[in-house]
Structure 1
Amino acid sequence: MRISEIARRAGVTTKTVRYYESLGLIAPARLANGYRDYSEHDARMVREARELNRLGIPVERTRPFLACLADGRDHADDCPSSLAGYREAIDDLTLRIEELTARRSVLAQHLHEAAHRNSRAGRAGAEEDTVSHLTDLPADLPVPEDDGAAAHLPGRPVPDVELPDTTGGTVALGALGEGRSIVYCYPLTGRPDTDLPEGWNTIPGARGCTSEACGFRDHHDDLHAAGAAHVFGLSSQDTTYQQEVVDRLRLPFPMLSDPGFQLAATLGVPTFEAAGATLYRRITLVIRDGGIEHVFYPVFPPNTHAQQVLEWLRDNPAHPPRAS
């Protein structure tokens, strides 16, 4: 057969066939007119070399396998030399994996150090710069509209839901005890070494989770003084991810993890889709005596939301019931 035909049957280019021939892996016969005449055996040898090369075995190291076929074996790896070729290739890959893993670890460490260099956890004295960086939001962020998705929540009893928190324990939302508790739900917090989902700034109510957390951090003592017994952040991110944020931002309150969207299922807390993931919409619940006393929805702008909650607490003091 002609070179174009063997290339078609083997699934390679004619250039690859010529390369294999130059290495001596195949040796086509010559016709009287000088043209090469490739056989079915040559086509099989080319296919075998191609498949082994796709597995990471260099073309030069396919010789033992092709020699096995040339000896009349049914399979290219029926010979001891072929098994040795497999072992050699595996050893090479193992070494490369170890080297790449080590390089990856070093690069990840460099990324972490560079991304956190100016964070509070990174160096002392950078607090002012860090706060500005975290709370300054783009001026053209789209404003979320009230779509009525939270209208049913005020007055609803809080379900018996237990969620893990960043202190290593769990929090039962239906048994928070006396006083008011603030639970602000947010989509996700970004990290300095991780890109936000594509188009994040164009989604109404998405951007600003870190600045919102900083606001609740900075107003934490004032919120307690105004009657908030507890403050919690809540998202669908896992606790390990949330812990990094708590440590980096030095949050004085725990984050709650709800990856199973229990609040969405039991209360109908609104969610949205972004980059193929389901996330909570930004919403804040004021919980009192096992029920939802007040709801902030939609929340905008997020960087001043904690102040908004504080003002509401001050304007609506929770008086203890009178003795009968």
Structure 2
Amino acid sequence: MQISELARQADVTTKAVRYYESLGLITPERLANGYRNYNEDDVRLVREIRTLHQLGIPVERTRPFLDCLAAGRLHADDCPASLATYREAIDELTERIEALTARRATLITNLNAAAHRGSSSKAPEQTATDSEDYLTLPADLPAPEADGAADHLPGTKTPQISLLNTAGKEIRLDALGPRRTVIYIYPLTGRPGTDLPEGWNSIPGARGCTPETCGFRDHFQDLLEAGAGRVYGLSSQDTDYQNEVVERLGLPFDMLSDPTLVLADTLGLPTFEVDGMRLFKRLTLIVRDGVIEHAFYPIFPPNEHAQQVLTWLRENPL
């Protein structure tokens, strides 16, 4: 067969085939007219090279596997030299993983340090009483009802929705990747000098957004170490409002803004109304590979919820 047919059957380019030949990994028959003539054995060898290369083994180091096939073995890794090459590749990959893990840990440490730097400072209008009011939950805070409003979410595909984050970027919820993303959804964070809606404390599940957010801030590094790839807070407040919260609380993660509650309407998320506003009820989604893997709902008490998510991640490793 011609080189184009070999490339088609082996799912590689003709340039790749020529490269394999230059390394002596395949040696096609030469016809009387000088043209190369490839056969099914060459197809098998090229497929083997491609598969090994996809696993991270350089093309130049696939020769032991090809020699194993040439020796009549059924599988390319039936020979000791092939196993040795596997071990070498694993050792090199382990070194790379350890180096990347160390770099990741350093970046997380730097992020936490930068995010918390100066977070104890208060805005001019913020008093100690303001801070205590938002961080302290009343003893008689009513618990939200377990009404099953989120039972349909696990296993549901994440919708193709883009939301603006506090870094000014559009985030596609269906393209968050294979690592777990924690999205805690909340109704409204209190703001120093701004009154909360009337009767806020008496609405089950309404009070506690700031303590919940501080919990995710304080457990941020633990969540990443437990397998979370990202953490987002999500509410219907605009990004300017959310940016004030990110700065005031020293958050090491971004918020997502959904002012029209398109996510609630698309997924059928529970909401409530107060003072003419429609707000999200508090719930948390664990998203992976474009699918909602788990949903926490109802959430109570909110100041302990980040620890609940952390416990779930540790008990359900990937």
TM-score category (smaller protein) = 0.5 to 0.7
Distance 1:133 1:226, change over 3 A: farther
What does 1:1-324 correspond to in 2, within 5 Å?
120-122=120-122, 134-318=134-318
Write the letter of the residue equivalent to 1:184: Y
In the alignment, the residues of structure 1 paired with residue 198 and residue 129 of structure 2 have an alpha-carbon distance, to the nearest angstrom, of 26
Size of the aligned set, in residue pairs, is 198
Shift of 1:130: 8.9
Q: Secondary structure at the match of 2:215?
A: helix
Distance 1:131 1:311, change over 3 A: farther
Shift of 1:131: 7.7
In the alignment, the residues of structure 2 paired with residue 267 and residue 120 of structure 1 have an alpha-carbon distance, to the nearest angstrom, of 38
Write the letter of the residue equivalent to 2:225: A
Write the letter of the residue equivalent to 2:237: Q
Write the letter of the residue equivalent to 1:169: K
Q: Report the counterpart of residue 53 of structure 2 in structure 1.
A: none
In the alignment, the residues of structure 2 paired with residue 301 and residue 238 of structure 1 have an alpha-carbon distance, to the nearest angstrom, of 25
In the alignment, the residues of structure 2 paired with residue 197 and residue 119 of structure 1 have an alpha-carbon distance, to the nearest angstrom, of 26
Shift of 1:132: 6.1
In the alignment, the residues of structure 2 paired with residue 271 and residue 261 of structure 1 have an alpha-carbon distance, to the nearest angstrom, of 9
- Tell me, yes or no, if the aligned pair for 1:209 and 1:302 is still in contact at 8 Å: yes
- Tell me, yes or no, if the aligned pair for 1:120 and 1:130 is still in contact at 8 Å: no
Shift of 1:142: 0.4
In the alignment, the residues of structure 1 paired with residue 265 and residue 241 of structure 2 have an alpha-carbon distance, to the nearest angstrom, of 23
Write the letter of the residue equivalent to 2:218: D
Give me the CA root mean square deviation. 2.1
Shift of 1:119: 7.3
- Tell me, yes or no, if the aligned pair for 1:154 and 1:292 is still in contact at 8 Å: yes
Shift of 1:178: 1.8
Rg larger in 1 or in 2?
A: 1
In the alignment, the residues of structure 2 paired with residue 216 and residue 254 of structure 1 have an alpha-carbon distance, to the nearest angstrom, of 11
In the alignment, the residues of structure 2 paired with residue 306 and residue 178 of structure 1 have an alpha-carbon distance, to the nearest angstrom, of 21
Shift of 1:208: 0.3
Write the letter of the residue equivalent to 1:274: V
Write the letter of the residue equivalent to 1:242: Q
- Tell me, yes or no, if the aligned pair for 2:236 and 2:259 is still in contact at 8 Å: yes
Q: Secondary structure at the match of 1:190?
A: coil
- Tell me, yes or no, if the aligned pair for 1:233 and 1:255 is still in contact at 8 Å: yes
In the alignment, the residues of structure 1 paired with residue 303 and residue 130 of structure 2 have an alpha-carbon distance, to the nearest angstrom, of 14
Q: Secondary structure at the match of 1:303?
A: helix
Shift of 1:136: 2.1
In the alignment, the residues of structure 1 paired with residue 195 and residue 133 of structure 2 have an alpha-carbon distance, to the nearest angstrom, of 16
In the alignment, the residues of structure 1 paired with residue 180 and residue 249 of structure 2 have an alpha-carbon distance, to the nearest angstrom, of 24
Shift of 1:134: 4.3
- Tell me, yes or no, if the aligned pair for 2:167 and 2:254 is still in contact at 8 Å: yes
Q: Report the counterpart of residue 39 of structure 1 in structure 2.
A: none
In the alignment, the residues of structure 2 paired with residue 284 and residue 298 of structure 1 have an alpha-carbon distance, to the nearest angstrom, of 9
In the alignment, the residues of structure 1 paired with residue 199 and residue 131 of structure 2 have an alpha-carbon distance, to the nearest angstrom, of 24
Deviations 1:252-277 (A, max 9, x none): 10000001111112111111101111
Shift of 1:156: 0.1
- Tell me whether 264-273 or 132-141 shows the greater mean CA deviation: 132-141
Distance 1:202 1:223, change over 3 A: same
- Tell me, yes or no, if the aligned pair for 1:121 and 1:247 is still in contact at 8 Å: no
What TM-score results when the alignment is normalised by the length of structure 2? Answer: 0.60
Distance 1:194 1:133, change over 3 A: closer
